[in-house]
């Protein structure tokens, strides 16, 4: 079984594998290329993301700087906004739905290392070789999610549609749809309802109004 197949199977793999290192090097170079662009160089940025990510939906914008690990394992939906310092360590698959907004310094991680120090240093592979091994779990984020600044999403987490994750949260377990969740570790504070609408905040709404056709 190839190392990338092991990643998808959720079993131990060698991150130092030659083919995996080549994939990561290509992406790391593209990260640097992106981070050297100006935010109004839309065509250049779009071309870099198209060559790096598994999918990047129309109408999206990432402020930069960015740090993707593999890139090809990440799929991002339409109209995404990512603020400064977006980091996605996508050893395993990362999917992000449509209309998501991420504040600065959001980090998504998928790899997991052995807990015991001697096992982190080396383990024996099937052929008896001594290598550093880890495994990875995918992260799935639904549509219309807003992450505050410095949110960290840990391996294996699924976050449902329409969630708000408070600034500085460390998400270690699944969050159901329509939740406001925050904390370290992150926990559901309450379910979002019509009571959270801006129509109930006239002092902030001012002379604006909520669109009648929202769904």
3-state SS of 190-210 is EECCHHHCHHHCHHHHCCCCC
Q: Where are the alpha helices (DSSP H) in 10-156?
A: 18-35, 42-52, 117-121
Query: To which H or E segment does residue 169 belong?
Result: none
Torsion angles phi and psi, residue 176, rounded to 5: -70, 160
The answer to whether 113 is a known catalytic residue is: yes
Using DSSP bridges, classify how beta strands 164-165 and 111-112 pair: parallel, antiparallel or unpaired. unpaired
175: DSSP letter: B
d(CA 1, CA 9) in angstroms, rounded, equals 10
Using DSSP bridges, classify how beta strands 130-131 and 123-124 pair: parallel, antiparallel or unpaired. antiparallel
Q: Which of 69, 113, 140, 200 is catalytic?
A: 113
**Residues annotated catalytic, as ranges:** 113
């Amino acid at each position: 079984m190839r190392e990338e197949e092991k990643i998808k199977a959720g079993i131990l793999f060698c991150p130092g594998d030659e083919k995996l290192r080549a994939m990561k090097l290509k992406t790391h170079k593209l990260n640097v290329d992106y981070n050297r662009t100006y935010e109004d160089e839309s065509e250049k940025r779009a071309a870099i993301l198209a060559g790096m990510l598994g999918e990047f939906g129309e109408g999206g914008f990432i402020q930069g700087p960015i740090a993707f690990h593999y890139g090809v394992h990440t799929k991002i939906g339409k109209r995404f906004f990512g603020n400064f310092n977006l980091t996605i360590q996508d050893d395993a698959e990362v999917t992000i739905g449509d209309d998501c907004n991420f504040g600065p310094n959001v980090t998504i991680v998928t790899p997991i290392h052995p807990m015991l120090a001697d096992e982190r240093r080396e383990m024996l592979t099937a052929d008896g070789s001594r290598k550093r091994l880890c495994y990875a779990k995918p992260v799935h984020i639904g549509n219309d999610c807003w992450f505050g600044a410095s949110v960290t999403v840990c391996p294996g987490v699924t976050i449902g549609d329409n969630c708000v994750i408070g600034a500085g949260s460390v998400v270690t377990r699944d969050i159901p749809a329509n939740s406001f969740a925050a904390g370290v570790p992150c926990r559901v504070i309450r379910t979002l309802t019509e009571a959270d609408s801006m129509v109930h905040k006239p002092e902030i709404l001012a002379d604006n109004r909520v669109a009648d056709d929202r769904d």
